[in-house]
Chains A and B, each alone.
Chain A
Amino acid sequence: MLENNKESYLATNNLSKSFGTFEAIRNISINIQEGEFVCFLGPSGCGKTTLLRCIAGLEIQSTGSVIQKKIDISNLPPSNRDFGIVFQSYALFPNLSVFSNIAYGLVNNKWNKHDINKRVDELLNLVSLTEHAKKYPGQLSGGEQQRVALARALATSPGLLLLDEPLSALDAKVRVFLRKQIKDLQRKLGVTTIMVTHDQEEAQTMADRIFVMKDGEIIQVGTPTEIYTRANSPFIADFIGIMNFIPATIVKNNKAQCNSVYIDCDTQDFQNNKSVRLAIRPEDIQLNVEKSDNNVLEATIKEIEFLGSFQRIYLEVSNVTKDLIMADVPSSNARKINLALNDKLNICFPVEDIRVYPN
């Protein structure tokens, strides 16, 4: 998993942390480049927040080390490390104004008054909150509060920005807006950033690289596209986006049998007679195709779910699997082809879009 080809800004070596007998994270080794935006993604309880807190020094690791800029910081207390942090709960000081909250870290670092004013104005401008400087956190909306928290974390120009589920407490619309704002800001400042999230959409839209975690371990690292299209386990395939799984058996090279039907697919190194699961994303299934193509199957529409910009069709393909197969159709297309319940139609699983996972 180590990628030593580029200069590493932050690394952990075999980092583990236990709480009593519970191992929150196990032997984690990662490498993050300078200026990179990285997401730790995983379901709750997978250890992603613990990993972030160990990097910050807020938790003390049980074994292993953390290296920042080639210096071993494992034994340094958080106050001697170089990072800014933003929490899900904002953690703004309620009795201090927006201005004082942002200036909080500057005051202590012996800045003079003029410089502090200048720096805070700059930051307020950066998060577009200039007119709220004198207000208290309680007078701001959740999104605004989180921007103040971001400005406070960035005030001392830390080399590393840590975001602990920063958007989870916000409304859907605000979340989308802030996603973009944080990403733009990060690109502009070039600050190395680690964000923890359980929201795969958030990770996919913001991160340069995603570290998928499960049960205290990192199970895949890659760009959002890599993770989405080449998930290395059925868990990730299912966790990120929507996936149809079809039980199958390998019959020969590049051919699998589902129920009574043969499906062409890339069977990789799987042995013959191996029981596997074929996976295909709903948007990859093609509807109303010519009978002549590969992997064309007869299906019956059992249910149509309207989801705004697209429609999800639940198809019965009884000679392949007893579960219904989901297929997504853009709403504009769906209107044109005029789908109705119990219609029969031909669908196709394009060979290159099928992934094979062990059962």
Chain B
Amino acid sequence: MNLLKFADIRRGKDSSDRVGQIMLAIYILLFLVFLVLPLGGLIYKSLQNKQGEFVGLSNYYLYIFQEPALFQSLSHSLFIAISSTIIVVILAFLFSYALTRTCMPFKGFFRLIALIPLLSPSILAAIALVYWFGNQGVLKHFLLGHSIYGPIGIIMASVYWTFPHALIILTTSLSLSDSRLYEAAEVLKTSKLRAFFTITIPGARYGIISTAFVIFTLVFTDFGVPKVIGGNYNVLATDIYKEVVGQQNFQMGAVISMVLLVPAMVAFFIDRYSRKKQISLLTSRSVVFKPKKHFNVDMIMLGFCSILTIIILLMIGMAQFGALVKFWPYNLQLTLSNYSFEVAGFGWESFYNSVRLALFTAIFGTIIIFIGSYLVEKLRTDEKTRGVVQFFALMPMAVPGLVLGLSYIFFFNAKDNPLNFIYATMIILVVNTIVHFYTVSHLTAVTALKQMDKEFESVSLSLKIPIYKMFWRVTLPVCLPPIFDISIYLFVNAMTTVSGVIFIYSYDTTLASVSSIHLDEQGDVAAAAAMAMLIVYVSIFVRLTHTIITKGILNRTQAWRYNVGDAN
């Protein structure tokens, strides 16, 4: 009987299936080498002593009972992550409520401004705060004697840079609502307030849960902000850096990485779970909600959104101003001299390295991720293998950049690793960045592929067209818009990331975001601001070009999309 079953499995495959199988095998191999094994190595490292001997959990024991300073960082990290999450969720919920559920004017403008923090590295917020509230800050006395260097600064900067992430999830979640529910409530004479608490909040609850866990993870694992503005307030991310770079205590670095990894993993699984729930809320028969005018609410929301956008503009504006000022705060003459970066290794070459990294990541990442998602979504055989690839594709989301980076040093720096040659090169940076941002891109691609008729592959097979030909002629052209979205997402994130690359850049491959941190560390805040702003310029430039090119290419290749109007 078993033999029969084996024969059955071998049945009915053609060349496309075999190519698919080989590709799946290659993806699994790549994920093993660039994700699973390094992480495994990191875990193993945490169980070793300095001589490389296996010591079980004694490092963890040491961590909990003999290093109170380190253990305290955990509570610090939790404190800033939870505080930031609560603030961001409330602000972003109100903001996205204003964007989706009210008739507030200038929605497009507000949305655009609110997304600005996505274009800058997280440290930019910290640098701007130094200018506003630092020792020589303009508004220093606003803090009533408290220092910005510490939890206050970390939370403020974290709220700033994670705000758009929350806004995107919550806007999507709030715009998925069925207006029939509100009509039904109105017909039943339900008050607006009751409708809000019985329809709006429950409808958005999975979005809110998801947002909370995403923001928690972002803040909990962020390195740049606490490094720049944390002062003596230690958090896990800076601890890892100190242990590894400062004290060369790799084992303790690995232990703290595990402490960082576990909450991130838990948050990830809760987030996945709540997103799955969210999808099922809206059926194809739902009628999309259209807000009605309500003067008072609209005006309150206008005021609220105006304040937030002004704060965002003041933050980025101050960073720009600081970058152009000769000697803050004594000589406010404007100059470009801060852009000359006289610190060796952390100047313009690091900026060009960043652009190179971003380009390579965008090009290779998009190709690899899109093909991978196609294999997962559209192959008709090998269900279990596809499940494995899907699982691997989701894993990076749960792994903080700092942890991934650290695992890469241990794994690729090992002398007996045949891939040792990629250590300290651009290749390892590109690979690390692709893996780090794999999940979101993968999910974007999968969503786009799911929207395509699931019978395309069947039709092609019946017409004796190999799948790869169909992929080239139909799937790829139809999916161009999401493919562009993925490439821009990868580009901007490769430009702005700090935590992913802080451990694995080398003297020849310094990066702009890393340089900004080092410049700040050396007290040259103006140059740090200038460097961070360079990243912003490129990100804006690329976004604009992307919009223009996308429009041009789409007009040529997506004619079928826009000509639908004259049907019949």
A residues with a Cβ closer than 8 A to B are 56-58, 60-63, 74-81, 83-85, 87, 89-91, 93-96, 104-105, 108-109, 135-141, 152-153, 155-156, 158, 162
Question: B461 near A91 (CB under 8 angstroms)?
Answer: no
Give A57's nearest chain B residue, CB to CB.
Answer: B12
Stretch in B62-70, B81-89, B320-328, B553-561 touching the partner: B553-561
Question: A105 near B463 (CB under 8 angstroms)?
Answer: yes
Whole-angstrom CA separation of A156 from B461 in the bound complex? 13
Which 9 A-B residue pairs are closest in the complex by CB-CB distance?
Answer: A105-B463, A77-B14, A136-B560, A91-B455, A138-B564, A78-B461, A60-B12, A87-B455, A93-B474
Whole-angstrom CA separation of A268 from B353 in the bound complex? 90
List, sorted by A's number, 6 A–B pairs whose CB atoms are closer than 8 Å. A58-B380, A62-B8, A90-B453, A105-B465, A138-B560, A139-B564
Please tell me if B150 contacts chain A, counting CB pairs below 8 Å: no
Q: In whole Å, how far is B110's beta carbon from the nearest beta carbon of chain A?
A: 33
Question: A56 near B462 (CB under 8 angstroms)?
Answer: yes
Whole-angstrom CA separation of A75 from B14 in the bound complex? 10
Whole-angstrom CA separation of A62 from B461 in the bound complex? 21
The residue that B465 contacts in the complex, of A81, A108, A138, A139, with Cβ under 8 A, is: A108
Please tell me if B466 contacts chain A, counting CB pairs below 8 Å: yes
Contacts of B551 in A (CB 8 A): none
Contacts of A61 in B (CB 8 A): 8
Contacts of B456 in A (CB 8 A): 91, 93
Q: In whole Å, how far is A141's beta carbon from the nearest beta carbon of chain B?
A: 6
Known: A75-B11, A75-B12. A108 touches B463 (CB 8 A): yes
Give B380's nearest chain A residue, CB to CB.
Answer: A58
A-B contact sample (12 more), CB < 8 A, given A93-B473, A105-B465: A60-B11, A77-B13, A78-B12, A78-B462, A84-B463, A89-B453, A91-B455, A94-B478, A105-B464, A138-B561, A138-B564, A156-B464
Please tell me if B180 contacts chain A, counting CB pairs below 8 Å: no
The residue that B477 contacts in the complex, of A81, A95, A158, with Cβ under 8 A, is: A95
| Residues from 536 to 568 in B contacting A, C-beta threshold 8 Å | 557-561, 563-564, 566-568
Please tell me if B270 contacts chain A, counting CB pairs below 8 Å: no
Contacts of A94 in B (CB 8 A): 478, 560-561
Please tell me if B459 contacts chain A, counting CB pairs below 8 Å: yes
Please tell me if B458 contacts chain A, counting CB pairs below 8 Å: yes
Question: B474 near A96 (CB under 8 angstroms)?
Answer: yes
Contacts of B473 in A (CB 8 A): 93, 96
Whole-angstrom CA separation of A105 from B466 in the bound complex? 10
Question: B463 near A152 (CB under 8 angstroms)?
Answer: yes
Please tell me if B17 contacts chain A, counting CB pairs below 8 Å: yes
Known: A87-B455, A153-B462. A60 touches B567 (CB 8 A): no
Contacts of B459 in A (CB 8 A): 85, 87, 91, 152
Give B456's nearest chain A residue, CB to CB.
Answer: A91
Question: A56 near B458 (CB under 8 angstroms)?
Answer: yes
Please tell me if B146 contacts chain A, counting CB pairs below 8 Å: no
Contacts of A62 in B (CB 8 A): 8
Contacts of A77 in B (CB 8 A): 12-14, 17, 461
Please tell me if B506 contacts chain A, counting CB pairs below 8 Å: no
Please tell me if B73 contacts chain A, counting CB pairs below 8 Å: no
Give B479's nearest chain A residue, CB to CB.
Answer: A95
Question: A78 near B14 (CB under 8 angstroms)?
Answer: yes
Q: In whole Å, how far is B487's beta carbon from the nearest beta carbon of chain A?
A: 19
Please tell me if B175 contacts chain A, counting CB pairs below 8 Å: no
Q: In whole Å, how far is B438's beta carbon from the nearest beta carbon of chain A?
A: 27
Interface centre among A56, A57, A74 (most CB of B within 10 A): A57
Whole-angstrom CA separation of A60 from B559 in the bound complex? 38
Please tell me if B469 contacts chain A, counting CB pairs below 8 Å: yes
Q: In whole Å, how far is B317's beta carbon from the nearest beta carbon of chain A?
A: 44
Whole-angstrom CA separation of A312 from B56 in the bound complex? 83
Give A105's nearest chain B residue, CB to CB.
Answer: B463
Interface centre among A63, A78, A140 (most CB of B within 10 A): A78
Interface centre among A74, A79, A137 (most CB of B within 10 A): A79
Question: A108 near B464 (CB under 8 angstroms)?
Answer: yes
Interface centre among B12, B456, B465, B559 (most CB of A within 10 A): B12
CB 8 Å contact bits of B391-425 with A (1 = contact, 0 = none): 00000000000000000000000000000000000
